[in-house]
Structure 1
Amino acid sequence: MNRADPAVMPDSGIQTLDRSMLLVELVTRAGHQGMTAAQLEAASGFSIATVYRLAQALKRLGLLRQIRDRGPYLLGHQLIVWGSAAGQTQCIKRAARGPLRSLADQFDNSFFLFVPDGFNVLCLDIQDGSQPTRSYVSDLGDRIRHGLGQASIAILSHLSRTEYDQILARNAATLQRSYGIERFDIDQAVAMCRRLGVTGGVEGTEPPEFTGIASPIMDPSGAPVAALSCSVPRKQMNETYYHALCDQLRQHAQVITQRLYGAIEER
């Protein structure tokens, strides 16, 4: 079994927590078969003693379980309780599935649903048209740092000032170093998204082969709960296509908002 790539997991900065979460992630990927301690050792790169220590702690918390002694570790029932509490996210996914499919059929490109996830945005759903495209994410569950990509700008544009400043204070150095994205550029893109209801994100020093547009989905208080976005080859994004995408993304974001919350009065 190949070792897990730690880059796909968010980094909390607390080693024990990060290692524990990696074990839970590995068991999740293994499905109903679960993983033995030896398999977790091989996949994580941790010592067998570390695997046992963390796995036993996760069992006590209800996050992992074993049907028999020395059997494979499976996901614990506490996660079901937490999953129910996180039900709003599943509601968002259900409400967005039809609009995403409609957009993919209309434009033939790939359309994405992102939700805020701490200092990142997380890809919750993807619907592909006849010409699938990928840029910063390749699969469900992938994360992008806030400030990178169109969806993160759409969500940032409606966060409180405190949240906005905290997120960018954390991400600014990496965005500048890895992508050439400055705080000023993000501020400008956010201001434009607030005016237009859509955003093309921020161009860095290494723009990908693809570009896109995103539109925020907000709750009745005006807080962002998600964003619709698309990935389009740059050569396809002419002015006519751009305006059609903007109009349809705004309309479909409104449809999702109405499905989630009903009609919302103009704020």
Structure 2
Amino acid sequence: MATDSSGYRERNSTADRALVILGLFTEDRLQISANDVAEALGSARSTAYRYLQTLVAASFLEEAPGGGFRLGIGVLELARLARRGYGLTAIAQPVMRALADEVGETVLLTRLVDDTVVCIERCEGAKQLVRLSYERGSRLPINAGASALTLLAWLPEKEIRELLGRHALQRFTERTLTDVDVLVKRLAEIRTAGYGMTVAEVDPDATGIAAPIFDDSGAVAAALSIVAIRRRVPEDRSELLVNAVRAAAETLSRKLAVVRS
């Protein structure tokens, strides 16, 4: 029993040291030496070299031309598998939960799917008092609401006009835009501002604020939005919500770029 326990502790110690070694690599440090590892581990150079050779044997490191060690094919394979395991929703959920808790409102993640706007995820704040009924998988109007307009705003104008032309644009309230020329102008304003905000365009009692999530090619992959009861978004609070949703969308854009790169 004592031998097994000792071996277990030794395996943990070895794993810890291996993680320390892999953690030495950064954007500015793509190669490491045995001396670097010895210093990081507080060990003799010969001990550090043994750990390096173990990682080389497992393909997590390889000897670099000219000396030193660089990340090996094993790390690249793990990175490939990690990317496959991360869909947009999985990446977005923690950020959405944090945003919903921060602002105390409903947060939606939407995408353009087959020319329609689809809600693919939603989160509500832990202490949210007023809840809005936006279900996952529900389809939202193409011509109204912050999410839809933000998803359209970064498309080429020709594509926008073709897309809107394929739909019977419905009027939900007196504020809903149904004229394509007016919509195109509105979308240009959203693109310049960097976010979309709508008040009573779908629901007379709702305000929406949305920001684009960009993929690694610079295209809009999705929209992140806050939807709130209109009376809960006075002018002095709207700026706070705009800044919060834009910051969260920028975080998701960076995460998505890493996963898709």
Q: Name the TM tier (shorter chain).
A: 0.5 to 0.7
Alignment CA distance shift 1:233-1:222 (3 Å): same
Superposition deviation, residue 90 in structure 1? 6.2
Paired AA for residue 175 in structure 1: Q
Superposition deviation, residue 208 in structure 1? 2.3
Partner of 2:169: 174
Between the aligned residues of both structures, percent identity stands at 25
Partner of 2:43: none
Partner of 1:186: 183
Alignment CA distance shift 1:177-1:239 (3 Å): closer
Give distance in 1, aligned partners of 2:199 and 2:226: 15
Superposition deviation, residue 88 in structure 1? 8.0
Paired AA for residue 223 in structure 1: A
Give distance in 1, aligned partners of 2:225 and 2:232: 16
Alignment CA distance shift 1:175-1:202 (3 Å): farther
Point out the structure with max Rg over C-alpha: 2
Superposition deviation, residue 207 in structure 1? 4.3
Residue 196 of structure 1, aligned match among 176, 193, 198: 193
Which structure 1 segments of 5+ residues have no match? 1-86
Superposition deviation, residue 215 in structure 1? 0.5
Determine if the alignment matches structure 1 residue 110 to structure 2 residue 118. Answer: no
Superposition deviation, residue 201 in structure 1? 3.4
Partner of 2:137: 141
Partner of 2:67: none
Give distance in 2, aligned partners of 1:169 and 1:216: 23
Q: Is the 8 A contact 1:181 1:203 kept in 2?
A: no
How many corresponding residue pairs?
173
Superposition deviation, residue 258 in structure 1? 0.8
Q: Is the 8 A contact 2:196 2:211 kept in 1?
A: yes
Q: Is the 8 A contact 1:214 1:227 kept in 2?
A: yes
Which structure 2 segments of 5+ residues have no match? 1-82
Deviations 1:106-150 (A, max 9, x none): 11111000011122111111101123432xx63110011311211
Partner of 1:124: 120
Partner of 2:212: 216
SS in 2 for 1:174: coil
Residue 157 of structure 1, aligned match among 153, 175, 178: 153
Residue 251 of structure 2, aligned match among 255, 264, 267: 255
Paired AA for residue 192 in structure 2: R
Give distance in 1, aligned partners of 2:255 and 2:99: 17
Superposition deviation, residue 175 in structure 1? 2.3
TM-score by length of 1: 0.58
TM-score by length of 2: 0.60
RMSD: 2.6
